Structure 1
Amino acid sequence: MRNCIFTSLLIIFTTIPVFSQENLLTKEDAVNLALQNNFGIQVAKNQVEIAENNKGILNSGYLPTLTNSTTANYNRDDAVIEFPGQVNQDGSPRADVELNKAEAQRYNSSLTADYVLFDGLGRFYNYKRLKEQYQLSELQARETIENTMLQLFSVYFEVARLTENQNVLQEALEISSQRIKRAEYAFEYGQNTKLDILNAQVDVTNDSINLLNTQQQLANTKRDLNVVLNQNLNELFKVDTLINFIPKPKLNEFVEQATLNNVAILQTERNLAINAYDIKVNKAGYLPTIGLNGTYGWNLNQSAASAFFPGTNNTTWNFGLGARLTWNIFDGGGTNVRVRNAKIAYENQELLKQQIELEVNRDIQNAKAIYENRLNIYQIQEQNVLTNQNNFERSKEQFQLGRITSIEFRQAQINLLNAQTNKNLAKYDAKLAELQLLQLTGQLLNVDF
């Protein structure tokens, strides 16, 4: 009786998390949540927005500048003016003159417009450069999203694997628990010894521990997934364990078009275009700059009365137009150095592109080989599960008939358990290898997961 209570408690304790209310988190839901909430993706989107602002007309240099300058000055003087040695017409000394609260005010305001007609085409090529920089930022954001998707599915599939392992271990525990009951009944009728009961109890204990450890790993991995999705760490959910593989002809088509779609190669092309514009921007230093400017101003000057002149109010308006031509005929060789360095940077970028193309080609071939190998392993493991399932069912029949020992039955059970968990691991390893291959071919964000 005590053994039955012990077994029941183990079963109840290890199955509590399984019956928690959990909503299904599909792969599509996980992708949408990551695109919306993931911190890294949000930062990448903000970087794209900054690049979009930079490529706008307001940052192009094509618009004129308009500047207003307004000043106001106020002075108040108290003065005593002496005339030493001077006399009036009657011969008396000339009296001092006192000026108290002599106020003077000056106000002026001017509006200045300035426009560059020609700057050696520097702003033209810089404007195109900013557009290329925007496209590069989009590619960098795409790379961030692709890496996040791989991170997301590596965790998502780990949750799926542990979920399937949990179900397998739960089933193994139930089988071991049934063995205890069978061993106890057989012992009561004198058909076996106490040793069979003890062996069954040891197996139940081991199965319970394995299940508890898997449930703990599953809970931890779900929290890892919640971090990627930027949601409540204790959010409850279950995942989709169904896996579909892309047909081989379609995958081969993706591989053939990899050089046109790989994000790393596309980034090198954008960097190459940016370097080409850098050369042209620096060459603009060889040419003159032509500009126009215009001013319109108002000035009011109120002066206080002095000892010799009365106070005056002077108001003026002015309007002016001007043109300028600036040509830095020789700047000490600075422009020449900048152009040479820009050309060298362009050559380096060409070399880097060739290197990246070679590395990407290598990575694609390796990824394809890894994927095909893992897919073959998965298919072998599927067949292995069928073989071990058949072996277990026959062993179970033989065990119930008393033709094999509990140790032999347990070995058949362990073989089936290992085959099932190995199949789960192989399935998700193969799918992850496929996703890595899709990323290298530039198709990760263009397929259904």
Structure 2
Amino acid sequence: MRISSSWLTLGASLSLLIPAWTANAQEFTPLQVKVAAASEATTPETTKSPITPTVVEDIKRSQPQLISSTEPARVLPSASVSTPGQLDPEQTLVVPTTPSQVKLEITKPVTLEEVLDLAEKTNSDWIQARIAVDKARAALQGAEAGRSPTVSGTVQYSYNDSAQTRLSNINNPLPAPLPPRNTISNPLTGTVGINYTLFDSGVNDATIAAAENNLRIAESNLNQARQTVRLNIVTAYYNLQNADETIRIQRQAVKNAEKSLKDTQARERAGVGTKFDVLQSEVSLANAKQDLLNAEASQLVARRELARQLNYPPTVEITAADKIAPVAEWKMPLEESILLAVRNRAELDTQKLQREVARSNANAALAKLGPQVGVFANFNTASEFTAGGGLGTGYQIGATLNWNLYDGGKTAAQVDQFKADQATAESKFEQAARQARFDVESAYINQRSRFQQIDTATKAVKQAEEALRLARLRLDAGVGTQLEVLTAESDFTRADVNRVQAIIGYNQARANLERAVAGL
């Protein structure tokens, strides 16, 4: 079968010459919201892009990576490195199967800056948010494809041996010398068709607007996921620092308890001490060792938690390289911090876009009640091999008009659902705005309180250390008791713990404040 190329050329030219005449027949609201392409779209209420250029560059640069030979491959998805419309090579999903693949063999100190850089490449929540952006972008491309004409082709071949013709040859034979009627036929037919929607009452425009806003929502969620991931990593790192410092404090407490026990035992042997003092010292030492064991367990858990969030190789043990120190003080007043938060929070942008999506969906539902006008062109060919060959050609052109005059109230019910979605988005927007203010206020208050506690706790450590020294001197001079020494040791340990907690708490509150204003 041969299909003339001139007809295909004619069809392609027709698709370019037909004007894209589209307009909304019915509007959900008097205000028609037109959204630009996803790469440069902005809503009237939002002047900033919810995704930073750095995030876009990271998405484009992302490649499938194998972090370690002993762990599964991590796929960092990106439409820019994939073949559009085709599946990527299948990634093998594996889990460790031998003890050597999960045994911790390497210890690697890492800084907070290093783990934050790594988190945006390996964290599962971050990767999933990037996948959602790729999915939304593909959905937008699918919606925009509705503006293009569609071309379809069919080819059919059949081989027929007609029983009816055979019966006619038997019952009504042709007179001689005419041959019997041919019972065999094997036609070959082909059709190439072009369809284009001239006017759809605005269905496609509303669908594209919804897809564009869904892409911006995915980008806003990606920005939000980035901030959440960074805050979680910062929190996990501070917890590890806290565990490390707690071990140092508890080890010092064990040393102090051991020294007190030796002194008490020596005084008992010299006849100036009692068995009761020895028992008190032994109990104090046992308690200190118990606290040290708990601190060591907490340290191991904190290391594994940080490694889990980073998707770190399972054979590497992470340790904190940074020393505990207060970060820079927050200089911005509370009121300005609140205003910055309500301008920058991705959650607020998301709810604005959700409202626009609901309005676009309602417009699309209403537009489906309007007329739908399309044109088509078909080119047909046919050939019959048993009839001496030859090729027959034909064509068909026309237009269609579809108008749903009554749908039983289905569209009205759909519009009511989308109105509910709009109201929900508006309510969530107000809720997110109140939450943003509370997050800023609570973090601001906590960081100021913790900052003041650092100075107080530092002085308390020096005072407790001096009190312990004096308690031991009093005991050696015979004017103090062993209970005073044990109490002083306990106060010194508690003061040191309070100092660490004040610094870690301040740093954590400072990080929470940065996240509250969407600046982490």
Q: Which interval holds the TM-score relative to the shorter structure?
A: 0.7 to 0.9
Larger Rg over CA atoms: 1
Superposed displacement of residue 160, structure 1 = 1.2
Query: Which residue does 1:154 correspond to in 2?
Result: 235
Residue correspondence of structure 1 range 29-40 to structure 2 within 5 A: 29-40=114-125
Query: Which residue does 1:216 correspond to in 2?
Result: 297
Counterpart amino acid of residue 393 in structure 2: W
CA contact (8 A) 2:281 2:486 kept: no
Q: How many Å separate the matches in 1 of 2:180 and 2:363?
A: 70
Query: Which residue does 1:356 correspond to in 2?
Result: 432
Residue correspondence of structure 1 range 136-155 to structure 2 within 5 A: 136-155=217-236
Q: Deviations over 1:372-398 (max 9, x none)?
A: 334434443233223212322333444
Q: How many Å separate the matches in 2 of 1:33 and 1:128?
A: 35
Q: 1:188 to 1:75 in 2, by over 3 A?
A: same
CA contact (8 A) 2:201 2:368 kept: yes
Superposed displacement of residue 47, structure 1 = 1.2
Counterpart amino acid of residue 242 in structure 1: I
Superposed displacement of residue 267, structure 1 = 1.3
Whether 1:68 and 2:153 are equivalent positions in the alignment is yes
CA contact (8 A) 1:374 1:429 kept: yes
Q: 1:355 to 1:188 in 2, by over 3 A?
A: closer
Normalising by structure 2, report the TM-score.
0.70
Whether 1:231 and 2:231 are equivalent positions in the alignment is no
SS in 2 for 1:264: helix
Q: How many Å separate the matches in 2 of 1:275 and 1:231?
A: 41
Query: Which residue does 1:276 correspond to in 2?
Result: 359
CA contact (8 A) 2:106 2:316 kept: no
Superposed displacement of residue 283, structure 1 = 3.4
SS in 2 for 1:120: coil
Whether 1:258 and 2:304 are equivalent positions in the alignment is no
Gaps of 5+ in 2: 1-104
Counterpart amino acid of residue 418 in structure 1: R
Counterpart amino acid of residue 441 in structure 1: V
CA contact (8 A) 2:106 2:315 kept: no
CA contact (8 A) 1:140 1:267 kept: yes
Q: Deviations over 1:146-200 (max 9, x none)?
A: 3333333333222211211110111122233334444555566666566655554
Counterpart amino acid of residue 350 in structure 2: Q
Q: 1:348 to 1:37 in 2, by over 3 A?
A: closer
Residue correspondence of structure 1 range 326-345 to structure 2 within 5 A: 326-339=402-415, 341-345=417-421
Superposed displacement of residue 59, structure 1 = 4.5
SS in 2 for 1:248: coil
Q: 1:124 to 1:83 in 2, by over 3 A?
A: closer
CA contact (8 A) 1:60 1:127 kept: no
Q: How many Å separate the matches in 2 of 1:433 and 1:145?
A: 18
Q: 1:348 to 1:427 in 2, by over 3 A?
A: same
CA contact (8 A) 1:139 1:267 kept: yes
Q: How many Å separate the matches in 1 of 2:462 and 2:401?
A: 86
CA RMSD of aligned residues (A): 3.3
Counterpart amino acid of residue 106 in structure 1: P
Normalising by structure 1, report the TM-score.
0.80
Q: Alignment partner for residue 414 of structure 1, among 472, 490, 507?
A: 490
Counterpart amino acid of residue 483 in structure 2: I
Greater strand share, 1 or 2? 1
Q: 1:87 to 1:173 in 2, by over 3 A?
A: closer
Counterpart amino acid of residue 154 in structure 1: T
Superposed displacement of residue 341, structure 1 = 4.7
CA contact (8 A) 1:161 1:424 kept: yes
CA contact (8 A) 2:324 2:504 kept: no
CA contact (8 A) 1:255 1:441 kept: yes
Counterpart amino acid of residue 108 in structure 2: N
Counterpart amino acid of residue 326 in structure 2: N
Q: Alignment partner for residue 178 of structure 1, among 235, 259, 277?
A: 259
Query: Which residue does 1:17 correspond to in 2?
Result: none
Q: Deviations over 1:262-315 (max 9, x none)?
A: 222121111122123223323323543232222223211234xxxxxxx45352
Counterpart amino acid of residue 331 in structure 2: P
Counterpart amino acid of residue 407 in structure 1: L
Whether 1:82 and 2:170 are equivalent positions in the alignment is yes
Q: How many Å separate the matches in 1 of 2:483 and 2:383?
A: 111
Query: Which residue does 2:200 correspond to in 1?
Result: 119
Q: 1:87 to 1:102 in 2, by over 3 A?
A: closer
Q: How many Å separate the matches in 2 of 1:136 and 1:58?
A: 16
Residue correspondence of structure 1 range 196-207 to structure 2 within 5 A: 199-207=280-288
Q: 1:50 to 1:87 in 2, by over 3 A?
A: closer
Q: 1:118 to 1:194 in 2, by over 3 A?
A: same
Counterpart amino acid of residue 262 in structure 1: R
Q: How many Å separate the matches in 1 of 2:298 and 2:435?
A: 36
Q: 1:242 to 1:334 in 2, by over 3 A?
A: same
CA contact (8 A) 1:262 1:439 kept: no
Superposed displacement of residue 403, structure 1 = 4.4
Superposed displacement of residue 28, structure 1 = 1.7
Gaps of 5+ in 1: 1-19, 89-93, 304-310, 445-449
Query: Which residue does 1:164 correspond to in 2?
Result: 245
Q: How many Å separate the matches in 1 of 2:250 and 2:174?
A: 125
Q: 1:87 to 1:257 in 2, by over 3 A?
A: closer
Give the share of equivalent positions with the same residue, in percent: 17
SS in 2 for 1:257: helix
Query: Which residue does 2:108 correspond to in 1?
Result: 23
Counterpart amino acid of residue 116 in structure 2: V
Q: 1:192 to 1:443 in 2, by over 3 A?
A: same
Query: Which residue does 1:130 correspond to in 2?
Result: 211
CA contact (8 A) 1:68 1:110 kept: yes
Q: How many Å separate the matches in 2 of 1:402 and 1:146?
A: 60
Tell me the matched-pair count.
411
Q: 1:122 to 1:243 in 2, by over 3 A?
A: farther
Superposed displacement of residue 345, structure 1 = 3.8
CA contact (8 A) 1:268 1:353 kept: yes
CA contact (8 A) 1:83 1:96 kept: no
Q: How many Å separate the matches in 2 of 1:331 and 1:63?
A: 28
Query: Which residue does 1:381 correspond to in 2?
Result: 457
